[in-house]
Structure 1
Amino acid sequence: MKNRKPAPADPDYRAEVEAIYAELERRPLPRQCEMRTGCCHFRLAGHTPLLTRGEALHAAQGVRASGRKVLKPHPDGACPLLGRDGKCTIYKHRPFGCRTHFCAAAGGMYPRKHVADLIHRLEALDERLGGDGSRPLEGAIASALAER
């Protein structure tokens, strides 16, 4: 990992992240997220999504829009973005990994060949924003929240 200070957020990062997510939605891969949240229980599922800087900034915007300023760890090791009702509090701002990789009930992991170009776009944006590669969800979003 590189030790460099992140560049100030490029105001266009949001449009690029949203364009990547919109492109993903247009892909003809059968998926149906029914917000069951089994994939959000990281300790039980055995995985945690990794976020690039652009994704973390975008997710942090969703956290702020939900009325929170900080993330608090979930007591059972679940995603800190789950609300008291058990649903994602930033669903429209959820990261790429949450959209593509984790939920077996929604159709399982997207084959990398179908999303590699989008991953490369997220990585290029990360580099442009001075990020240091993908980081675990909680730390990535907490850092993005602390910046502002």
Structure 2
Amino acid sequence: MTLEVLWEKLADITTKSGMKCGRSDQCNADCCRPSVSGSEPGVTPPEIELINGFLAKQRGFRFYEAGEDSCKFLDKNGKCRIYAVRPIDCRVHFCIDDSLASRPNHKAANLVEDYHSRHDVEFMETELIDSFKFSGEH
């Protein structure tokens, strides 16, 4: 299974389950702020490659528009600027109520686990998104 196929299957699971952000403020992107959430998504080499390909097509892309305390891909309004190619970790996180904990979805978790077991080497090379320097980042 390719990463793109995994993304399609995750989108289907998400749609069918009705999963969405459960925050009362309708997603203020606090989960995308490691200083607030205390966690940071990982990226695998195939995700890095797709993100870099996406970035290569963007003119004048600036990292950290939302500030240094936020994910490097958020814009000034707290919206993800790489949403179409966001990492798996971002695709499966849905806040529970006003906490930043993620609502579990067993179908999605099993699918991701199966994908990673088939791509063990890539999974073992996962890096934290903020630690990795993407194309065009200084």
Pair in the same fold by TM > 0.5: yes
Identical aligned pairs, as a percentage?
A: 20
Distance of 2:61 and 2:2 partners within structure 1: 24
**Residues 48-86 of structure 1, C-alpha deviations (whole Å, 9 max, x = no match):** 001111122222223333335774596442100011232
Return closer, same or farther for 1:92/1:114 CA change in 2, 3 Å cut-off: closer
Note if 1:24 corresponds to 2:10. yes
Note if 1:67 corresponds to 2:59. yes
Instruction: Please report how far the alpha carbon of residue 110 of structure 1 lies from its aligned counterpart in structure 2 after TM superposition.
Output: 2.8
Corresponding residue pairs, total: 128
Alignment-derived partner of residue 9 in structure 1: none
Contact 1:71-1:81 at 8 Å conserved across structures: yes
Give 5+ residue unaligned stretches, structure 2. none
Contact 1:66-1:89 at 8 Å conserved across structures: no
Distance of 1:65 and 1:93 partners within structure 2: 13
Alignment-derived partner of residue 81 in structure 2: 89
More helix by share: 1
Contact 2:19-2:94 at 8 Å conserved across structures: no
Structure 1 residues 17-26 or 29-38, which shifts more?
Answer: 29-38
Contact 1:24-1:115 at 8 Å conserved across structures: no
Distance of 1:122 and 1:71 partners within structure 2: 28
Amino acid across the alignment from 2:95? C
Tell which has more relative contact order, 1 or 2 (C-alpha 8 A, sep 6+): 1
Q: So what's the TM-score if we normalise by structure 1?
A: 0.66
Note if 1:38 corresponds to 2:30. yes
Alignment-derived partner of residue 110 in structure 1: 104
Q: So what's the TM-score if we normalise by structure 2?
A: 0.70
Return closer, same or farther for 1:138/1:76 CA change in 2, 3 Å cut-off: closer
